Chain A
Amino acid sequence: MFLRAIARPLMAGVKQTTGIVGLDVVPNAREVLISLYSKTLKEIQAVPPDEGYRKAVESFTKHRLTVCREEEDWEAIEKRLGCGQVEELIEEARDELKLIEKMIEWDPWGVPDDYECEVIENDAPVPKHVPLHRPGPLPEEFYSTLEKLQLNSKEAPPAVTSGESKAV
């Protein structure tokens, strides 16, 4: 028991397995994550600054980057972010980089003048015997990103008001 108490700080350094098939353990996960996030922050500069996409990506990437820089241990990173394992984070960061590259190539920014979009809020109650799909709890930084997005969009006048469609 005392042996484990002494050895625990050392034991936390090595991860045996991720528990997910096909996802190997990355021993230097922290460095990989820091490099990926810094690259993401550089790449996202190519997106126009008003876009919700850019704000969202910057917000959560910065948060994750600060957490990764502060914490030395992968276990501490995982616990603080609450977003799953570091290998999953690496995968997400790589996918996000791919996505940014593709978005820059497709260039879908800007709202066309005659844009009208119908947002339907259907609150019709579902009958009780039908099983509802209840998504699980989302990570905390999702909510903080969402708040930042909504704050920013409320400052500028929104193009469409939700609940009604804007006829041209």
Chain B
Amino acid sequence: MDNQFIFKYSWETLPKKWVKKMERSEHGNRLDTNSDYLFQLLCFLKLHTYTRVQVSIDICGVDYPSRKRRFEVIYNLLSTRYNSRIRVQISADEVTRISPVVSLFPSAGRWEREVWDMFGVSSINHPDLRRISTDYGFEGHPLRKDLPLSGYVEVRYDDPEKRVVSEPIEMTQEFRYFDFASPWEQRSDG
């Protein structure tokens, strides 16, 4: 119920340049913006008296391979003062660089590293952009839709060389894809 009021208020007060699309729903309010205005928008949301979102819950990305700007980086924010949540979304492609929000939300450091590691969306002037979840020599960005589920290399301990080596993957069984239209067994005669 109060989602409506906060939504209307942010609609009236946010500078129109910053907002590309807004959605109000019981599932969560959403704000789409351009990557130029991301830092400014988040700064506004953090500092303004009536939208005090001081906590960033999560920064994640989504890959839509069919779109031109294929990634969407989503900032989930929480206002502890008014108990309201808001999602800010940005679309980016592989070469877009996003401004880091670490100076506003210190917890964003790890989230941005993760977005970089999993998707390849990097940040300009980020204080510490390293890989965070993948292996040390890993090439590629795992959560993109074009990296297969089992990856390209497998690691094993090689006794003659006395170290762990990575080799191209060898699966003994080919990938099985289950697509049952009904949970019951398929019957050809019906």
Binding site for B on A (CB under 8 A): 51-53, 56-57, 60, 84, 88, 92-93, 95-96, 98-99, 102-103, 106, 108-112, 115, 117-126, 132-138, 142-143, 145-146, 149-150, 153, 159, 162
B141 CB to nearest chain A CB (Å): 30
* Known contacts A120-B22, A135-B84, then 4 further A-B pairs from the complex at CB < 8 Å, ordered by chain A residue: A103-B15, A119-B23, A120-B24, A121-B24
The CA of A122 and the CA of B122, in the complex, are separated in Å by 32
For residue B166, which residues in chain A have a CB less than 8 angstroms away from its CB? Answer: none
Q: Would you mind naming 20 contact pairs between A and B with Cβ atoms under 8 Å apart?
A: A51-B15, A53-B13, A57-B49, A60-B49, A98-B47, A110-B17, A115-B17, A117-B20, A117-B21, A118-B20, A119-B21, A119-B23, A123-B26, A124-B25, A126-B26, A134-B2, A143-B5, A149-B13, A159-B16, A162-B11
B60 at the interface (CB under 8 A from A): no
For residue A153, which residues in chain B have a CB less than 8 angstroms away from its CB? Answer: 12
Q: A119-B22, A122-B27, A135-B83 are in contact. Are A103 and B44 (CB under 8 A)?
A: yes
B48 at the interface (CB under 8 A from A): yes
For residue B25, which residues in chain A have a CB less than 8 angstroms away from its CB? Answer: 120-124
For residue A145, which residues in chain B have a CB less than 8 angstroms away from its CB? Answer: 9, 50
A113 CB to nearest chain B CB (Å): 12
B96 at the interface (CB under 8 A from A): no
B171 at the interface (CB under 8 A from A): no
Binding site for A on B (CB under 8 A): 1-3, 5-6, 8-9, 11-28, 37, 40, 43-44, 46-50, 52, 81-85
The CA of A120 and the CA of B25, in the complex, are separated in Å by 8
Whether A124 contacts B5 by the Cβ 8 Å rule is no
For residue A93, which residues in chain B have a CB less than 8 angstroms away from its CB? Answer: 49
The CA of A129 and the CA of B15, in the complex, are separated in Å by 37
**Which chain B residue has the least Cβ–Cβ distance from A153?**
B12
Q: A52-B13, A56-B50, A149-B13 are in contact. Are A117 and B6 (CB under 8 A)?
A: no
The CA of A83 and the CA of B133, in the complex, are separated in Å by 42
For residue B44, which residues in chain A have a CB less than 8 angstroms away from its CB? Answer: 99, 103
**Which chain A residue has the least Cβ–Cβ distance from B10?**
A52
